[in-house]
Structure 1
Amino acid sequence: MPSRVTSLGGRLLPGRIREQRAVERAAVRDAAKERRRDERIAERRRDLLASDYTVRTLTVDGHTFYGRQVRSFTAAGASAHNLGLVTDALAHAGIDYFLVPGRSLNRHVVGVRRTDRKDLLAALRSLYGSAPLYALRTGGDRLPTDAVLYADGALPTTLKRQSVIRFGEILLGPDGQLLSDLTYGCDVEFWRDGQALLDDEEHGADHLRALRHQAPPSVLAESLVAPRPNPVTDVLPTKALTTAVRTIEGRAHPTYEDLFRPRVDVSDIPLDVVYTWVDGGDPELAARRQAFRNSGGMPRIHGRESGASRYTSHDELKYSLRSLETFAPFVRNVYIVTDGQRPPWLNTDAAGIQIVDHKDIFADVNALPVFNSHAIGTQLHHIEGLSERYLYFNDDVLLGRPVTPDHFFHSNGIAKLPFSPSQLGLGSPHPDEPAPNSAGKNVRELLLGTHGRFTTNKFMHTPHPQLRSVMAELEERFAEDIARTSRSRFRAVTDIAMGASLHHHYAYLTGRGVPGKYKLRYVDIARPDAEERLADLSTTRRFDFICLNDVNTPEDEKERVRARLHAFLESYFPFPSRYER
């Protein structure tokens, strides 16, 4: 009886109040439903962590992600890992696929017929329903908060209906640090049959108008059509479906021949890397250096240009080599130019690495020893067997994320030069200004005389693309200036900067180099902002190149700076490379 009275009383209430109470009851039901869903997700996530010891949590900006801890890492391996997860599911479901050329260095792209989308999603659910695999919309966000963890349950309908879906796992280092985010995921494109698009009166016309390749209807009718542009074609005619195999990290994947032919706009030039390295902590070298200082004749120049910090080793070379192995698998050979030294950790038996002594490359061995990077830079192109195009690294320069030869050279061989917005300034070389400024001004005078052009800009602290033929030409054309600099034991205001300023400006003026785009994070490791800049590097990994420069660290700060730098390098590059013992 009371329920009937309550029901009757409810009907007697004004309509506005009845509607308000209905909304409130619905909100209570929705909240309860959401609470039960959250409880189920929390339970699944606890089960995920309990069932796989390699799965760890990662918290970014208050949002928790789940990643897989790994024991080794390269960028190429990370993207291949996610490709393998997707292609294993495709094989599980018996679905044909093909590799598609992508636009990102971080990930692979797979093409699948749209009619197979439902079966692929079911296979992924079957294989990875209790794994830290994410599904997400494509985009540039590294860790989007709307990425969906497969272990959480069913994917949202709107995501399942996307024409391109990204799938990937987050990979973590030994201390739980982020190594690869979801930009390394594998993109799956759902390609449509051309005839189906021609017959689709509602959406087909818009899709066809947007195609980069405007194929005639007779060709479209027998083609596969991509959901978005790619670097080669968004229309695959039947006559172009010649199958091929592309090997990724040792695993063969099907594709179509024309999609991966060597392209006119892609550089695949063989590149070597040359490092200059010195261990300033070597007592024998330090004694020789001091003896030459004491012998007199040392040029007047600011103390920072010949101080201990300039020769201090923080083992940056070890981590720079790790960065090469992690982010630049295309490198052919590595040459380390030293003054009779050898890092104790270096594995000289590793394939593709060689120690080169100063005496093996200096045209005038009587100039030795030298403690001046400007002098050493005049001789690097003498290395026997060095490739025509190579990269000159200082040992405090590292790669921060994947690069290719295209970062440094156009496919026609023209160098991409790392011009800096910093300027040389006007006036004569001065002993109290930074030595690169004086060396750049001396280069300016040479080129003003030969080309009638006035140089203004310096160059960034990045890898320097070099053409061996340009260096040889400079050595003939400016023989006296280069010989003088090669004999300059310590930095002097009369030096020229051959490896950067002279090579780059001359290559530009002779049509063999053009300005490039270099995304660099420069850190003076003793400056007050160094800790903040290193933390940003660790968190965002948004720079192609990193320079960790020890300009002039005070003696009482050295241990603190060394510890901070070591912690950063070990976190960013936690795994030894093949170049280490």
Structure 2
Amino acid sequence: MNNKIDFVVLWVDGGDPEWIKEKNNYAPQGSITPEVEAARFRDWDNMKYWFRGIEKFTPWVNKIHFVTYGHLPQFLNTENEKLNIVNHRDIIDNNYLPTFNSAAIEVNISKIDGLTDKFVYFNDDTFIISPMKERDFFVNGVPCAEGLEEALTSIGDGAAYSHHILNDIDVINKYFDKRKQYKKNFTKYFNFKYGTQNIRNLSLLIWKNYTGFKNAHLPTAYLKDTWEIVWSKEEERLSNTTSHKFRSYYDLNQYVFRQWQIASGNFHPQLTPGKVIEATDSNLEKITNEIIKQKHKMLCINDNQDILDFENIKSAINKAFDKILPEKSSFEK
């Protein structure tokens, strides 16, 4: 296996007039659902800090695959040798395009030409803010992950995401016997690195099937072989996901591959070194402190459609990023 590690990130310019026109043309008429609302696609104008963090804190990365509808950030230096621009049409059949469904794009990223055997998948709202090593993602050739279960719940927002996770675990329970896997990989499911979180698996042992896996909602390490295995077994469901223009209750998403790695025992037990925080009008100071103090290696800043003063929050967060990452990267013109 090649020891090189690539990063993959999806990006969309929610302000692109051509993209907006196509999105509106395909969007369901009559109501604004969580799957088509503008907040899901709006740009925080901070992608340059994503690249600065990568270059400063993970200089060992082999290549960055930047997956996009076709538009690009104005700052981006497309001549950078570490950068590979991936258009949706490079990995998705034209019959399914255009797509505004992140799940549809995610499940196809293993088809990126030249993608290394080991890669890390990022959302564009997750930033590396302090130094990281290859071992934060892979140890002895296998991806790092928490082998921790959780009880699946929805949050009452009507969004499709909770259904995706349930669909993912449905696939896992189709192919894996939980109790056999626990016996086979006991020290991966119960590990001192998890600390008190071991109680998760202990308390869920009563359930015969997997109830779900803890999702850190942070960058995920993957083996490309895993994607090939799952595609070979669940091509119909993955193709159906790809066919949906917007997120659907019936989709799978990228986490089915993560869960497969965990259920199969093909992972190194390790807590994900990062934090997730939701952007709201009331916790701006908390977010900026998280950035400036750099206590975590990775930080995910989740958008929230209920933000009232988006421009002010965006400006303050980007100023905080500029304090820790003031120098232009080679990915900028």
TM-score, normalised via structure 1 length: 0.49
Question: Which residue does 2:4 correspond to in 1?
Answer: 270
Distance 1:431 1:483, change over 3 A: farther
RMSD: 2.3
**2:22 pairs with 1:288:** yes
Task: Give the Å deviation of 1:534.
Answer: 2.0
Question: Which residue does 1:33 correspond to in 2?
Answer: none
Provide Cα deviations, 1:182-207, integer angstroms capped at 9, x if missing partner: xxxxxxxxxxxxxxxxxxxxxxxxxx
Question: Which residue does 2:41 correspond to in 1?
Answer: 311
480, 483, 508: which one aligns with 2:239? 483
- The CA distance in 1 between the partners of 2:101 and 2:298, in whole Å, is 24
Distance 1:423 1:437, change over 3 A: farther
Provide Cα deviations, 1:327-350, integer angstroms capped at 9, x if missing partner: 001100111000111111100111
Question: Which residue does 1:441 correspond to in 2?
Answer: 166
540, 543, 564: which one aligns with 2:296? 543
Provide Cα deviations, 1:53-109, integer angstroms capped at 9, x if missing partner: xxxxxxxxxxxxxxxxxxxxxxxxxxxxxxxxxxxxxxxxxxxxxxxxxxxxxxxxx
Question: Which residue does 2:90 correspond to in 1?
Answer: 360
Q: Which has the higher contact order (CA 8 A, sep 6+)?
A: 2
- The CA distance in 1 between the partners of 2:147 and 2:67, in whole Å, is 25
CA contact (8 A) 1:525 1:565 kept: no
Question: Which residue does 1:107 correspond to in 2?
Answer: none
525, 549, 564: which one aligns with 2:279? 525
| Mapping 1:499-514, distance limit 5 Å | 499-500=254-255, 502-514=256-268
- The CA distance in 1 between the partners of 2:219 and 2:95, in whole Å, is 29
- The CA distance in 2 between the partners of 1:340 and 1:537, in whole Å, is 30
Task: Give the Å deviation of 1:489.
Answer: 0.9
Question: Which residue does 1:558 correspond to in 2?
Answer: 310
Distance 1:422 1:527, change over 3 A: farther
- The CA distance in 1 between the partners of 2:58 and 2:156, in whole Å, is 38
SS in 2 for 1:457: coil
- The CA distance in 1 between the partners of 2:298 and 2:149, in whole Å, is 16
| Mapping 1:215-230, distance limit 5 Å | none
CA contact (8 A) 1:418 1:462 kept: no
- The CA distance in 2 between the partners of 1:273 and 1:566, in whole Å, is 22
Task: Give the Å deviation of 1:421.
Answer: 7.7
Distance 1:421 1:409, change over 3 A: same
Provide Cα deviations, 1:226-245, integer angstroms capped at 9, x if missing partner: xxxxxxxxxxxxxxxxxxxx
CA contact (8 A) 1:401 1:543 kept: yes
Task: Give the Å deviation of 1:490.
Answer: 0.7
SS in 2 for 1:577: coil
Q: Which is higher, the Rg of structure 1 or of structure 2? A: 1
CA contact (8 A) 2:142 2:223 kept: no
| Mapping 1:201-220, distance limit 5 Å | none
AA aligned opposite 1:350: N
**2:228 pairs with 1:465:** no
Question: Which residue does 2:191 correspond to in 1?
Answer: none
- The CA distance in 2 between the partners of 1:332 and 1:416, in whole Å, is 18
Question: Which residue does 1:414 correspond to in 2?
Answer: 142
CA contact (8 A) 1:271 1:389 kept: yes
Deviates most, 349-358 or 503-512: 503-512
How many residues are aligned here? 302
Question: Which residue does 2:13 correspond to in 1?
Answer: 279
**2:175 pairs with 1:450:** yes
- The CA distance in 1 between the partners of 2:28 and 2:158, in whole Å, is 23
CA contact (8 A) 2:167 2:250 kept: yes
- The CA distance in 2 between the partners of 1:423 and 1:345, in whole Å, is 42
- The CA distance in 2 between the partners of 1:549 and 1:451, in whole Å, is 32
AA aligned opposite 2:142: I
- The CA distance in 2 between the partners of 1:323 and 1:377, in whole Å, is 22
**2:252 pairs with 1:496:** yes
- The CA distance in 1 between the partners of 2:148 and 2:329, in whole Å, is 31
AA aligned opposite 1:321: F
Question: Which residue does 2:124 correspond to in 1?
Answer: 395
Distance 1:421 1:396, change over 3 A: farther
CA contact (8 A) 2:163 2:249 kept: yes
AA aligned opposite 2:23: R
70, 82, 89: which one aligns with 1:340? 70
Task: Give the Å deviation of 1:279.
Answer: 0.5
- The CA distance in 2 between the partners of 1:407 and 1:287, in whole Å, is 41
Question: Which residue does 1:325 correspond to in 2?
Answer: 55
Task: Give the Å deviation of 1:398.
Answer: 0.8
Task: Give the Å deviation of 1:319.
Answer: 0.9
- The CA distance in 2 between the partners of 1:479 and 1:548, in whole Å, is 32
- The CA distance in 1 between the partners of 2:46 and 2:332, in whole Å, is 13
- The CA distance in 2 between the partners of 1:378 and 1:515, in whole Å, is 24
Question: Which residue does 1:225 correspond to in 2?
Answer: none
Distance 1:433 1:454, change over 3 A: farther
CA contact (8 A) 2:169 2:259 kept: no
CA contact (8 A) 2:91 2:109 kept: yes
Higher strand share: 1
CA contact (8 A) 1:419 1:460 kept: no
Task: Give the Å deviation of 1:418.
Answer: 5.1
Task: Give the Å deviation of 1:580.
Answer: 0.2
